[in-house]
Amino acid sequence: MERRYAIIGHRAPSMGKLNLNDLPGSGRMDVLVRAINSALFVSHGIRKDSHITLHLQGGDGPNRRIWFDGGILAGVRPDERSIAGQLKAIMKLPIPPQFHEVTQGIYHSGGDIFDTLKEWEREDVKINILDANGTNISELLPREIALKYKAEKIGIILSDDLPFNEDEVEQFTDYPKISLGKKWLQGHSCIAITQYLFDKI
């Protein structure tokens, strides 16, 4: 089962300088970096069945998406500074209209979360919105999750440390909502939990 994660960085700048010594002060890029780590890395390896797309939707420049494809990703270490260094280099580049490969397994493009949703729909990805008020995923375990997601491309949309804005909530109306509980967990923890659950299928 292919897992795709999309995280929205509402304040994350799409271009300019990235201070590696102050990722929280750079539009909470620390949240996005930790999300990459949880989505893609296991001990001594990379998840070949997982992708994650960052949506840099803050700052003064146009939106930028950065897509990490775990199936072919190479040359990235799992420490936060190394991952942030990759983002810093990309943020210096002009934003292409379509996905362009920067290094093996890392692509960037213009666009926002709504563009990603359209692309996923064309690729038959089963899209789910991570929402504390959604259906608790524990109610589906274990047989129901297996039946629901086996041999599927599953997409999980989550936010950074901010809730979804009004436009996002409106656009997400028709997608199923899944919950990991009523407490507001950190994004990278949510990703790790869903990866664990999907690994059990």
Alpha helices by DSSP H, the chain: 29-40, 80-91, 113-122, 143-149, 166-171, 187-199
| Helices and strands (DSSP H and E) totals, the chain | 6, 10
Average pLDDT over residues 108-117: 97
- Other Cβ atoms less than 10 A from the Cβ of 171: the count is 15
Closest by CA position to 193, among listed 148, 144, 156: 156
- The Cα–Cα gap between 27 and 106 comes to 21
Domains of the chain: 2-199 (3.40.1280.10)
Specify the DSSP element, H or E, that contains 53. strand 50-58
CA 155 to chain CA mean position, Å: 9
Q: What is the pLDDT of residue 43?
A: 86
What's the angle, vertex CA 151, arms to CA 136 and CA 39, rounded to 5? 60
Indicate whether this model's pTM tops 0.85. Answer: yes
Q: How does pLDDT run across 121-138, given as a tens digit for each residue?
A: 999 999 999 998 888 877
Q: What is the pLDDT of residue 142?
A: 56
Q: What is the pLDDT of residue 13?
A: 95
Q: Are 31 and 42 in contact (CB under 8 A)?
A: no
Count the residues in the chain. Answer: 201
Q: How does pLDDT run across 47-56, given as a tens digit for each residue?
A: 999 999 999 9
Q: What is the pLDDT of residue 107?
A: 98
